[in-house]
Amino acid sequence: MAKELFITQWFSNEMRIAGENLIKRLDESGAQVVAAFWLLDSEEKTWELTIVSPLVKTEGPKNYYKRINDIDESVNPAEEIISLHHIRVAKPNNRIVKALKNSVLEDSMLANNRLGQNMLGGVYIEDIYLYRMDWKLLEDNAKNIINSNSSLYLKKTPALAQ
């Protein structure tokens, strides 16, 4: 069994590396990670790794957590992993993702960067380490949601479909 990484209010290099390793394994498993970041909970003063994927909506969060747990169980016993207690899975319409998308920062400023004590897209973020945001996948996902909602609306109101 791999050793669980200790999470505190201080962002560590070990946390950054453990997150990178998990994201890489999720990518290899086809987990469709569109955004990933560590976010400091301002009340609890602890960090949570947020993994954003459209599969959280289609498969459900429980199945996505199982996917992460399966990856954790398959790693080298000497490798540090992040407890599921410190991981949050989210759909692409997550409020932090929306805030980052709506911020005035350039894409190049966001990836692999720490953006603490900022007001981004109308949301105050005490501290965040952003691995990435896949703008293309987020846009494609938003279009798919709009199209599927439009289809449902048209199916429910046949007079409009003609």
Give the domain extent around 67: 3-135
* Domain count across the chain: 1
**Contacts for 9-18: CB closer than 8 Å, 24+ residues apart:** 9/40, 9/45, 9/46, 9/47, 11/38, 11/40, 11/47, 11/114, 11/127, 11/129, 14/80, 15/47, 15/49, 15/82, 16/129, 17/80, 18/80, 18/81, 18/82
Do the domain assignments include residue 94? Answer: yes
Identify the pLDDT of residue 150. 36
Distance, CA of 8 to CA of 81 (rounded, Å): 14
Measured distance CA(106)–CA(121) in Å, rounded? 13
- What the block records as the tokens of 123 is 């949301």
- Within a domain: 161: no
Residue 12 lies in a domain: yes
| Residue 145 lies inside a defined structural domain of this protein | no
What pLDDT score was predicted for residue 75?
A: 87
Pair 68, 26: CB distance under 8 Å: yes
Residue 112 lies in a domain: yes
**157 occurs within a structural domain:** no
User: According to the model, what pLDDT value does residue 44 have?
Assistant: 83
Query: Degrees (nearest 5) of the Cα angle 44, 47, 53?
Result: 125
At 137 the pLDDT is 60
Please check whether residue 149 lies inside any domain of the structure.
no
Block means of pLDDT (10 residues each) for the chain, 162 residues, are 74 93 96 94 89 96 96 87 94 88 60 78 87 72 45 38 37
Q: Is residue 153 part of a domain?
A: no
Instruction: Give the CB-side neighbour count of residue 33, counting CA atoms within 13 A.
Output: 26
